Structure 1
Amino acid sequence: MVYAGTMIGYGPYHDKYASGREGDCPIVALSSRAQYISLYVAGSRNGKPIAEAAKAKLGKVSVGKACIRFKRLADLDVPAARAGSRFGAARQW
Structure 2
Amino acid sequence: MYELKTKENDNSVIEFIEQVENSKKREDAYRLLDIFTETTGYKAKMWGTSIIGFGSYHYKYATGHEGDAPLVGFSPRKANFSLYFATGDTERDVLLQEFGKHKAGKSCVYINKITDIDVEVLKKLIQQSIRFLREMYPDTK
Residue 55 (1) aligns with residue 96 (2) = yes
The unaligned stretches of length 5 or more in structure 2 are 1-44, 137-141
Distance 1:12 1:81 in 2: 19
Q: Looking at CA atoms only, which structure, 1 or 2, has the larger radius of gyration?
A: 2
**Alignment-derived partner of residue 67 in structure 2:** 23
**Alignment-derived partner of residue 110 in structure 2:** 69
TM-score, structure 2 as length reference: 0.58
Distance 1:10 1:44 in 2: 19
Question: What's the offset of the Cα at 1:89?
Answer: 1.4
Question: What's the offset of the Cα at 1:54?
Answer: 2.1
Q: Rate the CA distance shift 1:64–1:49 in 2: closer, same or farther, 3 A.
A: farther
1:29-40 equivalences under 5 Å are: 29-40=73-84
Question: What's the offset of the Cα at 1:71?
Answer: 0.7
Distance 2:78 2:59 in 1: 29
Q: Which has the higher helix share?
A: 2
**Alignment-derived partner of residue 23 in structure 2:** none
8 Å CA contact 1:38, 1:68 repeated in 2: yes
Number of aligned residues: 90
Q: Which has the higher strand share?
A: 1
**Partner amino acid, structure 2, of 1:29:** G
Distance 1:18 1:84 in 2: 27
How far does the alpha carbon of each residue in 1:39-92 deviate from its partner, in whole angstroms, 9 at most, with x for none?
1111554xx262x33221110111112211011111121111110111221332
Q: Rate the CA distance shift 1:11–1:43 in 2: closer, same or farther, 3 A.
A: farther
- CA RMSD after TM alignment: 1.7
Q: Which runs of 4+ in 1 moved over 4 A?
A: none
**Identity, % of aligned pairs?**
31
The unaligned stretches of length 5 or more in structure 1 are none
TM-score, structure 1 as length reference: 0.85
